[in-house]
Amino acid sequence: MTEWWRDAIIYQIYPRSFQDDDGDGVGDLAGITRRLDHVARLGVDAIWLSPIFASPQKDMGYDVSDYLAIDPLFGTLPEFEALITRAHELGLKIITDQVLSHTSDQHEWFRESRASRDNPRADWYVWADPQPDGSPPTNWHSHFGGPAWEFDPGRGQYYLHHFLASQPDLNFHNPEVVEAILGTCKFWLDKGLDGFRLDTVNYYFHDDQLRSNPPAETRPQVMATDLYGMQHNIYNKSRPENLGFLEKLRALTDQYDDIMMVGEVGEMGHRSIELMGEYTAGTKRLHMTYSFAMLGPDFSAAHFRSCIEGFQKGAPDGHPYWSVSNHDVPREVTRWAEYAVSEDDMARLACAMLMSFPGTIGIYQGEELGLSETELTYDELTDPPALRFWPAVKGRDGCRTPMVWEKDAPNAGFSTGTPWLPVKAPQAARAVDQQGQGGIMAFYKDVIAYRKSSPALSGTKTDFIDLPEPILAFHRIAAEQVLTCVFNLSPDPLSLNVDRDCTPVGPVNAHLLDGVLTLPGNGFVYLEAAAPVELSKD
């Protein structure tokens, strides 16, 4: 049996911002269900829902206070079950964000844990005594600024938090914690979910000797909000014990039919590719992983090639998941604007390129409209890092503003109330009802349809062609079809020589005549031929 997730296209929905049906300004499950036809018409295979579970919403649901309850902000359990049913009727699989590495400080487990040092859950979180001078147990940093340790006067100890102080880390060295977490996952699989997106999948275990991290060899900041990147983060995350837990989780999902798990590897650079390989090796760990490798500012042929070749080398039997946009990073047409002829040209190039990559593909709501990052003022912000570090840090709100459905409707059709983040004119201008023939949404549909019809774009065989920047080119080969995919990652036109007869197929923004391929700025083409096309530059 072919697993549904191989070569699938997964559409990420950020529930707060997709569709508000009850008028409170925050998206909800009923709204998602009503708008699922839009997602299905794109031709995607599945939806990933960012967190919908009970939470005080200090980090927009990534601080769970009850793993077994739907947050009333989004709706009810019956409404979630109706969403699953409707998705399946439309041929869509559905996966949810599972935030397992930490909880909210409002979770009953943490309330009990912090009450004393000898209660039944005293060791369910990562507690440690102060150093003799009262300072934190290690030098580890929090992603959201300051130390990764918060002192609790009731216990007279510090607890670990990689993010907000209100997001304490669970102690996965405790077998009871592991069993409790597996039980929460089983609960949702029994409700009919098709799998999980595992948040911060490499953060589950910490060094049980509580050793401090050494300084980084190079010192770029991972996030501008903190000093995280100034350490070589080897003791606070990505520990070898992680693999054992992933195998337990896989054993659980293997009890069900056709379940998929994709893990978010919270690492940067080559280490992220290494972990993707480790976490997907064999058949007893994750089905897929994705990293932030393609979610940063890097936009070069060498970078994209190194990501794909690095994964193929590090995990020859693994399966990658690639995306260029999500709820944590600026939208790609803004992030890569310096390389673009226009926002539309970048939107088309990014789509054509992404859909030609091997493995499973993720797209983020609004990406199919060519949405740009929303410019917000301080009084409009909700994201904790931005509120703390403004104006040096703009935060993540700019990519989380509401989906735009109807240009001239209040709040572009998202809500009849005041939306939790504003809908602004540049985004409303790209609403779904403005996406006519030839628009970005139509382009996405066409490219998705072509990918699904192309034997060469299935599987993982990818052979890169040595060409100078800014040209990204590679062969995708199947027994029934040979494609040569070529992309101009610059706003300037260029020409290449081709060595054999070939035909442009699928999405095209190029011109082929008498053995010369002309690519305009941000141009692209898939060339079909009897054998791989060789390219050269004069």
Active-site positions?
A: 199, 267
Closest to 266 in 3D by CA, of 305, 296, 308, 241: 296
Closest to 352 in 3D by CA, of 511, 469, 507: 507
| CA 101 to each of CA 124, 198, 273, 432, 500: distance values in angstroms, whole numbers, following the listed order | 12, 9, 21, 37, 53
Residue pair 10/47 in contact (Cβ under 8 Å)? The answer is yes
Residue 32's φ and ψ, nearest 5 degrees, are -60, -45
Q: Strands, E, within 301-412: which ranges?
A: 321-323, 360-364
Alpha helices in 108-158 (DSSP H): 108-113
Give the gyration radius of the chain's Cα atoms. Answer: 23
In angstroms, the CA 349 to CA 341 distance is 10
User: In the structure encoding, which two tokens stand for residue 95, read together?
Assistant: 């996966």
Closest to 197 in 3D by CA, of 279, 262, 288: 262
CA pseudo-torsion sign 362, 448, 349, 274: positive
In angstroms, the CA 319 to CA 294 distance is 16
Position 371, amino acid: L
Q: Of all helices (H) and strands (E), which one includes residue 32?
A: helix 29-42
β-pairing, 149-152 vs 503-509, is: unpaired
In angstroms, the CA 271 to CA 470 distance is 25
Closest to 494 in 3D by CA, of 512, 473, 521: 521
Q: How many CB atoms lie within 10 A of CB 161?
A: 24
> SS3 for 169?
strand
User: In the structure encoding, which two tokens stand for residue 50, read together?
Assistant: 């960012």
